[in-house]
């Protein structure tokens, strides 16, 4: 198929496909004549993946390129692909500030309490610590009960992430779901958390339930 058909098949604007191509995110098609390049289903799959990473996952072009490279590395062990995906998804914005010693220690203690086997360069350590610093800044001390509830939530999601991988065969498909699932699990959780918050709020404060109607 031509590039315009590729865009159609991937339900992505042609301008976006050309942009991904210029940025080197799509592997080359087969040149069938001096003016024409042919694409196939593997390109459709790739364009969808890139779009999901950028638009829903919120990754930069550079981070997307890194994740794509990890997927395309033959024989990379799952833990290594996860590591690359996780690092690519640490956005520069959140990487700017260094978390406080207090919040870092708190996250390390929490991980130890859960028996989590993690490496010191896991970007989740600083990401969680930075969020804690924001809570400390408004004098909320994030008691253990609060942290444990979030750790339960994280463990539940991580188990679902890993279980989902067992539905796929082929290293490419596993790696693809690993990185896309890592990127999209965050907004999925964020969306569901807002639903659960509204439900919990209207349960706790029923007299203020002016907007709440059963789903």
Which 32-91 positions form the footprint of a copy of itself (CB under 8 A)?
A: 45, 48-49, 51-52, 55-58, 77-80, 82-83, 86
Residue among 32 and 203 whose Cβ is closer to a copy of itself = 203
The contacts of residue 212 (CB under 8 Å, 6+ apart) are: 198, 202
Question: For a copy of itself, how many residues bind (rule: CB under 8 A)?
Answer: 108
Stretch that binds a copy of itself, among 14-22, 23-31, 62-70, 199-207 (CB under 8 A): 199-207
Stretch that binds a copy of itself, among 13-21, 26-34, 60-68, 205-213 (CB under 8 A): 205-213
- Tokens representing 85 are 């995906």
Residue among 36 and 203 whose Cβ is closer to a copy of itself = 203
Helix (H, G, I), strand (E, B) or coil at 131: helix
> 27 phi and psi, to 5 degrees?
-65, 155
Cβ atoms of 52 and 12 within 8 Å: the answer is: no
What minimum distance in Å lies between the beta carbon of 31 and a copy of itself?
Answer: 28
Q: Could you say whether residue 19 binds a copy of itself (CB under 8 A)?
A: no
- Tokens representing 14 are 């042609």
Q: How far apart are CA 87 and CA 205, in angstroms?
A: 41
- Tokens representing 145 are 């009960």
Count of positions (residues) in the chain: 215
Stretch that binds a copy of itself, among 18-26, 33-41, 59-67, 172-180 (CB under 8 A): 172-180
Q: Could you say whether residue 98 binds a copy of itself (CB under 8 A)?
A: no
The contacts of residue 20 (CB under 8 Å, 6+ apart) are: 26, 47, 50
Cβ atoms of 30 and 37 within 8 Å: the answer is: yes
Stretch that binds a copy of itself, among 17-25, 28-36, 60-68, 194-202 (CB under 8 A): 194-202
What minimum distance in Å lies between the beta carbon of 172 and a copy of itself?
Answer: 11
Q: Could you say whether residue 197 binds a copy of itself (CB under 8 A)?
A: yes
**Which of 30, 75, 93, 170 touches a copy of itself (CB under 8 A)?**
93
Which DSSP helix (H) or strand (E) runs through 38? Answer: strand 36-38
Contacts (CB under 8 A) with a copy of itself, residues 111-130: 111-112, 114-130
């Amino acid at each position: 198929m031509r590039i315009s058909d590729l865009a159609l098949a991937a339900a992505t604007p042609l301008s976006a496909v050309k942009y991904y191509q210029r940025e080197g995110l799509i592997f080359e098609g087969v040149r069938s004549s001096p003016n024409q390049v042919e694409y196939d289903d593997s390109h459709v799959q790739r364009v969808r993946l890139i779009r999901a990473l950028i638009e829903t996952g919120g990754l930069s072009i550079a981070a997307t390129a890194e994740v794509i490279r990890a997927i395309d590395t033959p024989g990379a062990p799952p833990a290594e692909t996860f590591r690359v995906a996780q690092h690519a998804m640490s956005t520069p914005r959140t990487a700017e500030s260094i978390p406080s010693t207090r919040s870092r220690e708190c996250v390390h203690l929490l991980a130890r309490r859960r028996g989590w086997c993690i490496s010191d360069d896991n970007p989740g350590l600083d990401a969680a610590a930075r969020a804690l610093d924001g809570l400390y800044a408004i004098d909320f001390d994030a008691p253990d009960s609060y942290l444990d509830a979030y750790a339960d939530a994280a463990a539940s999601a991580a188990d679902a992430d890993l279980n989902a991988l067992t539905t796929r065969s082929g290293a490419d498909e596993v790696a693809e779901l690993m990185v896309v699932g890592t990127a999209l699990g965050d907004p999925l959780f964020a969306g569901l958390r807002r639903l659960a918050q509204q439900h919990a709020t209207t349960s706790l404060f029923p007299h203020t339930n002016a907007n709440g109607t059963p789903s």
